[in-house]
Structure formats: C-alpha cells, structure tokens
Amino acid sequence: MLMPRRATRTPRQTDVFFRHMVGNMRNGVLAITRDGDVVLVNEEACRLFRLPAGDTLVGRPYADVLRDHPDIVRVLGGAFGMAALPNRAELRLRSTDTVIGYTLSLVRQQDGEPVGAALFFKDLTDVEQIEERERLRDRLAAVGEMAAVMAHEIKNPLAGIEVMAGLLRRKTKDNVDAQTLVGEIINEAKLANSIVQEVLAFVRPVRLQLYPTSVADALGSALTLADGEAVRGGIAVNLSVPTDLPPVGGDYHQLTQVFANLLINAYQALDGKGRIDLTARLATTAAEGALVPDGYQPVASVVVDVADNGPGVAPEVAEKIFNPFFTTKPKGSGLGLAIVRKIVDAHDGRIDMTSTEGRGTRFRVTLPVDPRTHAASHP
Ligand SMILES: Nc1ncnc2c1ncn2[C@@H]1O[C@H](COP(=O)(O)OP(=O)(O)OP(=O)(O)O)[C@@H](O)[C@H]1O
Ligand SMILES: [Mg+2]
C-alpha cells in the first residue's frame, strides 16, 4: 500500500509517541531496570494495582512501589534468574482479589545483555465471571436433569399411595376418624403429585405446536382450568377482548397454561374477593408495547393483561417471583411463574409484572401476531 510521505519524525517525537501508546494501552504494562527501579508504569497498571499516577512512581524501587502486592514482587524478582520466563500465566492478586493474566519478558540491549524486565498483564476478572456463569448454567442443567429423573421416579410410588389409601378408605367406611386421616393422606399425595407434575413440566424442554391461536379462546379455556384448580369465590372477572383481534402464533394448550397460572395466582392473591381484569389488545408500534425483536422494527403483537386489585407484590419479592421454586405460599411449589416465563420465551414473547403494594398486580404477556394471520383456529 502506498502511504503519503510525511516529514521524518525526530527521535524525541517518536519517544513521545511510544510513551502515549504504552500509556493508553488497555493492557497493564510495568517495566523495571536491572537495578530494580520502576521505569514505566501505564494507566491500566496503576488502576489494577491501585497505585497513584505513574509519574510519581518512576525511579522508585519496584519492591517499594508494589509492597501491597507481594505476588507481583516475587514474579518480577525472578525475572533475571529464570531460564524460561512465564508466558500467559495467571495470578490472583490477593490484595484486590482480581485475577490477572500476564507475560514477563526481558528488555535486552543490542549485545543481548538484559537491562530490564517488562510485565504485560490483563484483568481477567470479567472472563472469570463469564466462565463462572457458564459453570452455573451447566450445573443448573444437571440439577434440572436430576430433578426430572427424581420426579419421574417419585410419580409411581405416589400413585401407589393414592390407590392404596383409596382402598383403605373403602375398608374403613364405618370409622369416621380413619376416614378423615385417609382423606388427608389422599389429599397430601395429590398435592405431592401436582408438584411432581409441575417439576416435570418445568424441566422438560418446551416443544411448541404453533398455529394461529385465538387469544380469546385461550383465555376462556384458562378460566375453566383455573376454576378447576383454585377457588374463585366472590371474585369478579371481567374479560375484554376485541372481536377483530388477530390470532397469535402460538401453542394453544401452552398459552392456556400461561394464562391459567396467572389467573390461579390472582385468585390466590385475592382470596375470594376483588376483581380481575383480563384484557387483550393489538399493538403495532413500540410506544403501544409491540415487540421489537431486532431493536428497530416493531412486529404486530397482542398484549394481554391479567390485572388484579389484590395485595400487590413487595419490591424485594418482585425481583424473585420468576425464579423457580420461589414461593410465599405454604403449599406453593414456586414453579407457576417460572413455567409461564419459559413458555412465553419459547413463543418469542415477553412477560412483565408491575405492582403497587396494596393496590394490585398486573402481569402483561406480549406475543407476536401470527405471521399467517388467518382466521383463528386451533387443532
Ligand atoms: N397476582 C399476584 N399477586 C400477588 N403476588 C403474586 C401474584 N402472582 C404471583 N405472586 C407472588 O409470586 C410468587 C411466585 O408465584 P408462582 O406462581 O411462581 O409460585 P406459587 O404460586 O407460589 O406456587 P405454584 O404456582 O407453583 O403453586 C407467589 O408465591 C406470590 O408471592
Ligand atoms: Mg402460582
């Protein structure tokens, strides 16, 4: 490549250039003379070693400058005696609990005689955190697998307990106390079984059967399902869905499960009295709440709100409600919302919760409109 000719730089200009280059490098650089004085220490090195600005350190013994970091002093101290200098080694600075990756090299003059040593290093703490997160994910996957196996193994003996308790109930017809106790056993076994089912539903990968799905129909089925699982009592449910709402691309049964879980939570929060507003609407712009998958282009979306006027969620609870096994209920498994999130994510949708303590809670599920937008139908 042809470069425009420039006036030649003086050695001083070149020196200034190199100083700036090293000074602004994103790696830490620290160089010492053979006598053990600091010749160069750049900004990143000062940040990592928590040292004052570099100029005040030049000319001082490195052992003194780095007295808070004995590990580094040891590495630099070995520079002139080692046959092979460490390349890409790692070290945890005990003083600041940061991990650095470093390379140590000798600075030689023309005849090959070493006149100094330079340490190049990089903060690896972020890299470590990413690795840690990956390890956590692997661990969670392993735990999930174990949970699935356990849930599966527990299912059969549980069914056995339920069947045998049923037999016992028939055999103890005349004994009122025994009837009550056996009734309790059956109820508890049923509860354990529903927890097992939920764990299985949670750990199983979501497999969707996508069809143009009517949100009004899914909400209707969800109400039926919720009424079977929890007590509606005197709660008023207002369902409001425009008749011309386009279908979403969804799995009818799984979406029903999503809305049912939200309704059951609302029933439980309201404890027999209050109001639930179930609404759905179309959103085509980001301002209306449409999904923006690529960050630029909103896609037509259906926004479903499940809003109750119950006790609300305290802020310290709000951040945990989607975590698996988080529950504030004595008999809850804490998987309801974790499953909801998993299903909504699988639909490329979004779920948000807003709540005012004492005023109520609103869960908002946003789902992309079915790209085929035919008449709503489900198998
Ligand atoms: N509508 C709501 N109003 C107030 N709190 C809520 C509401 N919905 C959820 N929560 C809170 O979020 C927690 C987690 O809900 P989630 O559905 O995941 O589990 P759960 O209802 O406790 O148990 P499960 O659904 O597995 O039976 C609840 O224990 C409750 O504290
Ligand atoms: Mg729940």
List the chain pLDDT tens, one digit each, 379 residues.
555 555 567 778 888 888 888 888 889 999 999 999 999 999 999 999 999 876 789 999 999 999 999 999 999 988 888 777 877 788 888 888 888 999 999 999 999 889 999 999 998 877 777 777 677 667 767 777 787 788 888 888 999 999 999 999 999 999 999 999 999 999 999 988 888 887 877 777 778 888 999 999 999 999 999 999 999 999 999 999 999 999 999 999 999 999 999 999 999 999 999 999 999 999 999 999 999 888 788 999 999 999 999 999 999 999 889 888 889 998 888 889 988 998 998 899 999 999 999 999 999 999 999 988 644 444 4
Tokens of 54: 């570099």
**Does ligand 1 come within 6 angstroms of the Cβ of 269?**
yes
Q: What is the 3-state secondary structure (H, E, C) of 350-374?
A: EEEEEEECCCEEEEEEEEEECCCCC
CA of 45 relative to ligand 1 center, distance in Å: 49
pLDDT at 5 (0 to 100): 57
CA of 321 relative to ligand 1 center, distance in Å: 7
pLDDT at 194 (0 to 100): 85
For residue 326, the surrounding DSSP H or E stretch is: none
Strands 234-240, 273-283: pairing kind? parallel
Angle at 274 between CA 324 and CA 309, to 5 degrees: 55
Distances (CA, A) of 59 to 35, 40, 106: 10, 9, 18
Supply the residue whose CA is at minimum distance from atom 11 of ligand 1: 321
pLDDT at 376 (0 to 100): 43
Cα–chain-centroid distance for residue 132?
13
Among 153, 193, 203, 158, CA closest to 325:
203
The closest ligand to the CA of 337 turns out to be 1
Ligand 1 atom nearest to CA at 317: 31
Place of tokens 């939920």: 198
Angle at 368 between CA 367 and CA 370, to 5 degrees: 125
Name the residues around ion ligand 2, CB cutoff 5 A.
Answer: 265, 336
Angle at 254 between CA 251 and CA 260, to 5 degrees: 135
CA of 263 relative to ligand 2 center, distance in Å: 9
**Does ligand 1 come within 6 angstroms of the Cβ of 305?**
no
Distances (CA, A) of 122 to 25, 69, 76, 119: 10, 16, 16, 10
Among 45, 38, 91, CA closest to 65:
38
DSSP 275-294: EEEEEEEEE-SGGGT-B-TT
Ligand 1 atom nearest to CA at 360: 3
pLDDT at 377 (0 to 100): 47
**323, 329, 344: residue to mutate for ligand 1 pocket, most atoms within 8 A of CB:** 329
- Per the DSSP assignment, residues forming a β-bridge with 103 are 120
The closest ligand to the CA of 276 turns out to be 1
d(CA 149, CA 17): 64
d(CA 47, CA 80): 26
pLDDT at 21 (0 to 100): 87
Place of tokens 């354990």: 192
**Does ligand 1 come within 6 angstroms of the Cβ of 301?**
no
**Does ligand 1 come within 6 angstroms of the Cβ of 266?**
yes
Contact assessment for residue 367 and residue 349, using Cβ atoms and an 8 Å cutoff:
yes
The closest ligand to the CA of 269 turns out to be 1
d(CA 32, CA 41): 9
Contact assessment for residue 364 and residue 352, using Cβ atoms and an 8 Å cutoff:
yes
**Does ligand 1 come within 6 angstroms of the Cβ of 310?**
yes
Mean pLDDT of the chain: 88
- Per the DSSP assignment, residues forming a β-bridge with 52 are none
Tokens of 201: 């539903």
**Does ligand 1 come within 6 angstroms of the Cβ of 263?**
no
d(CA 375, CA 358): 41
- Exposed/middle/buried for 269, CB within 10 Å: 0-12, 13-18, 19+? buried
pTM of the model: 0.60
- Per the DSSP assignment, residues forming a β-bridge with 142 are none
